[in-house]
Chain A
């Protein structure tokens, strides 16, 4: 089944404790991205990647890191989480960023709470 998977689905952590949220897709998509969803603010893009070893900042990149060493994986890293990073996080992928008509495929989401 074609899908985007994220792990963990739920995470409660404490301020300053480094964490990684994994994202993997099995559709051979070139483009992957991370979003956070907060009430009243909709979806905001954190980082995106147009292909392996090519990443760029989205609208709200502060406090986050990403890497794209393999085509299928795009982990989101919080080096020192803070309470304002408590949010619902989504990973998404699409076939190619150079094609404007591709829809995004979303993962199920990761609900992160930073105490």
Chain B
């Protein structure tokens, strides 16, 4: 069975500093990996995904993620954090279940960017 782990419940970073939100996964077969963001009182929004190819994936709002097959990780990164980046971030993996692909989400990491 596939699974996703987000080892940090909360990440604190100062505005202007780089940020990393960690995600590790476990799947049999090829991993299809996603990051979503949830702002307060909103639904989840898609940020970026890894399907195949370049290990560095660029997404919305200046975010990027690095796929590392040997470490089974897909960490979310941003070179310079903004206060407006403060939100809940979810990593997800889409893996085969019978003839379909059902997404599995991590528990989420709360990112707090301090002014």
Binding site for B on A (CB under 8 A): 4, 31, 35, 40-43, 45, 48, 50, 90, 92, 97-109
B44, B49, B99: the one contacting A106 at CB < 8 Å is B44
Q: Which of B89-110 contact A (CB under 8 A)?
A: 90, 92, 94-96, 99-103, 105-108
Q: How many contacting A-B pairs (Cβ < 8 A)?
A: 62
SS class of chain B's interface: helix, strand, loop or mixed?
A: strand
Contact B34 A103 (CB under 8 A): yes
**Chain B, Cβ-Cβ closest to A35:** B105
Q: How far is the CA of A109 from the CA of B90 in the complex (A)?
A: 16
Q: How far is the CB of A49 from chain B (nearest CB, A)?
A: 11
Q: For this complex, into which size category does the number of interface residues on chain B fall?
A: 20 to 34
Q: How far is the CA of A98 from the CA of B32 in the complex (A)?
A: 13
Contact A103 B105 (CB under 8 A): no
Q: How far is the CA of A108 from the CA of B44 in the complex (A)?
A: 8
Q: Which of B7-34 contact A (CB under 8 A)?
A: 9, 30, 32, 34
Contact B94 A101 (CB under 8 A): yes
